[in-house]
Amino acid sequence: MTYVKASLDSPYGIISSHWHVKGKQMLYDITIPPNTSAELTLPVPAVNVLQSGKPLADLSGVTTRLSLGAGNYQFSFPCAEIRY
């Protein structure tokens, strides 16, 4: 697969998640509506993840776990780093 796109019409608004492969990068876009939060787990170490083009804070572990508030988010990381 080279992309996945999904959305859910929640009581607070539309929650959407979309990832696609561009070159050797995985690009992941998330929208969380107002008054809502989400937990995100990416299958790569945080040291390899960029949020809106900027490195994440120094987090440890083989996966990246983030608590996200309402908003639009863009993450990217190398496809080769994905751990299944």
* Ranges of each domain in the chain: 3-81
Closest CA to 42 of 15, 17, 77, 69: 77
Give the pLDDT of residue 61.
Answer: 78
Give 21-76 pLDDT, tens digit per residue. 999 999 999 999 999 999 999 988 888 899 999 998 777 778 899 999 999 999 99
Which of 20 and 81 is assigned the larger pLDDT? Answer: 20
Name the residue with tokens 């949020």. 51
Give the pLDDT of residue 75.
Answer: 96
Q: Which amino acid is at 68?
A: L
Give the pLDDT of residue 62.
Answer: 83
Q: List the CATH code of the domain at 3-81.
A: 2.60.420.10
pTM score above 0.75: yes
